[in-house]
Structure 1
């Protein structure tokens, strides 16, 4: 990623643009997977997104978000999102800011100027946990690859990964919810009981 940490404003197939500040810390502790896509017309992108859409209920129930960023316009991305049955956010980067900031221009296709497809699994605070280069289809993560990565991230960030760990039950009984997601308040402190 480049040194420019300025906010990135991208269009989505909805009325208002989305502001992504790549320097922001994510206080929610949410895990994310970001995908960059060549184009809605590319079969490899279509297949990858069909797989994710099929598993999206599992992804959502695990407090995980997906974002797809593509260089198509918002109309084309909206059609792509509908065609694969995706329930997550698709963002349009027709100005190629992400492509330039991350240095992922697909130089083999100067006519369309797409991004080399990548999948990033992010820890809270938008810290990169793993990167998959999807130029070739087999470079893209399988559902099991994502499950493994997200399991590792969740284990690292959740003190209550093992609810039988020493002290967790006692803290809960004492009313301290700070180590139990999602029962903590937005500041990571106690909730009212």
Structure 2
């Protein structure tokens, strides 16, 4: 998906001739490079058990020839998508991330289509079908600390942590590292206020 006039690449599951909503979507210039796309079909395809479906890859181009969209090595595998270092929260196991037992309010795996006050799309599929982790407190009169904890990672000389976030209503996001047998956690990142859209 490269060029100044790229619009959309969509993936649908067609059942009985009906496309329904896009299960996965990318829009605009993604750069002159190959990117990996993943889509977990389990739970995203609304179908009767045993009913056949077809995957439809749709390319919507702009009004001129200044760009292109290419796909390659399209594979449909039995079972979940291969494990990647990215946790997109599409699996109900949530990549083994857990809520801190001391949380007053827990992070919850959510979808945009469940509540109109949530983000309208997720990052993974750019649709309302995708999942994300959400912390929402109906009682805004007091500060609430809630921690989402990753699985253990081994010590490294250099790693990159990347994430997408959306903060509203003067929220604060802290990212900390807790080392085994170390009493105090190290704060790696803090942001406060409204961020994202």
TM category (shorter chain) comes to under 0.3
Which is greater in Rg?
2
Which protein has greater RCO, CA pairs closer than 8 Å, 6+ apart? 1
TM-score (norm 2): 0.25
Which structure's residues are more often strand, by fraction? 2
Judging by fraction of residues, say which structure has more helix.
1
TM-score where L is the length of structure 1 = 0.25
